[in-house]
Amino acid sequence: MFIDDYSKNLVKQIDDIEVEEDVLNAFETNKKDYRIARPAYMVKNEVADRNWNTTFKILKHTAKRLFEVRQDLFGEYGRLKNWVYGPYNKESADTSMEKSHNTLCSYLKFNIEGNHYLKELKKQYELLTVKPNYIDKYVILFLHYQPEATTSPIGNVFVDQELCVDVLLKHLPNDYYVYIKEHPSQFYAHSEGQKGRISDTYYDLAKRPRVKLISTNEVSFDLIEHCQALATVSGTVGWEGIVRGKPVIVFGITWYENYDRGVLRITDDASASKIESFLKEYKYDEHAIMAYLSSVSKNTVKAYFYKANHKNKGLVTEQECVDNLINAMKPIITKCLSDK
């Protein structure tokens, strides 16, 4: 149905294509300066990092966590001393996962050690970075924060992002570089980037021919502006590239992967072999983008899967999210059952 709607929209005049206002606004916003177009979650993550990036701030958040769960401390699930010093429900067979958590000491230790590790990891990464040379022909690969659903499971085998680099190096012209920019959230103190990256990853990448690591301080839109193409597993940056007139190479499942006028999805060596011709033949087509966005508007529902999104202004409540998903799935399930 989605592809059919997209095909029908392509034969319409651009003024006759209907796109929901919020989707159209998002499109127009991404044409602007990065300070305006920067995703809201990136701004929030940066603020959260400033609120977590010292031992004192971690102690403050730990105390807040203790206050939030105080109702359980002397209840049927355990005593205060167990929560602070010893195993608290993690090893109890009769306690649900929802009512279990780490001890206060282990929670504190994890965050302090994690913060120290991430500071060192960032230092190692930045030591290997170079300034972008906009005379270069390059594809910019924006790494994903890990661990996260955007690569596992959405990226399949490309959860190993070094594999993305190897595919690009193999199939790009020999005079092309692969620029790599790490995701800023990988180093944020409130995140869990210490679970998803080691410094050896950066050293391995830097040893590859025609690979340049780029500082997280570089503005993403500047890198997009001067690139020949951009690559991502499934990131928002792919959508930004489409809007800003660049061919986009994706390695995972994403909502814009079927935009055939500007996106090439890599699933195997056969699709990867099309990279060079894809770059040569690419032409920006705003009419096709509007056709695609109209199909997105018609065939999607407002919902979220990230736990904090229901708190964001303008998004649906938790109950609305559940209702919207159920109502969207009902006709599909009914049709599947009737076909049997």
Residue-wise pLDDT for 258-287, tens only, equals 999 999 999 999 999 999 999 999 999 999
Mean of pLDDT values over 165-171: 98
Give the SS3 label for residue 283. Answer: coil
pLDDT at 129: 98
Which one of 2.102.10.10, 3.90.1150.170, 3.40.50.2000, 3.40.190.10 gives the CATH number of domain 2-35+125-299?
3.40.50.2000
Write out the two tokens for 76.
Answer: 């049927």
What is the residue whose two structure tokens read 């661990």? 147
Q: pLDDT digits over 26-80, tens only?
A: 899 988 888 888 887 788 888 888 888 888 887 887 777 666 655 555 444 444 4
Which residues have C-beta within 8 Å of that of residue 10, sequence separation ≥ 6? 287, 288, 291
> What backbone torsions phi and psi does residue 323 show, to the nearest 5 degrees?
-60, -45
What φ, ψ does residue 130 adopt, rounded to 5°? Answer: -130, 160
pTM for the model = 0.87
Residue 331 CB neighbours (<10 A):
9
Q: How is residue 192 written in tokens? A: 């869990």
Rounded to an integer, the average pLDDT of 279-298 is 94
Is the per-residue pLDDT at 22 higher than 70? yes
Contact (Cβ atoms closer than 8 angstroms) between residue 224 and residue 140: yes
- pLDDT for the residue numbered 290: 95
CA angle 54, 55, 61 (to 5 degrees): 95
pLDDT at 293: 95
pLDDT at 310 over 60: no
Q: What are the start and end residues of each CATH 3.40.50.2000 domain in the chain?
A: 2-35+125-299
pLDDT tens digits, one per residue of 197-235 = 999 999 999 999 999 999 999 999 999 999 999 999 999
DSSP element (H, E) containing 139: strand 137-142
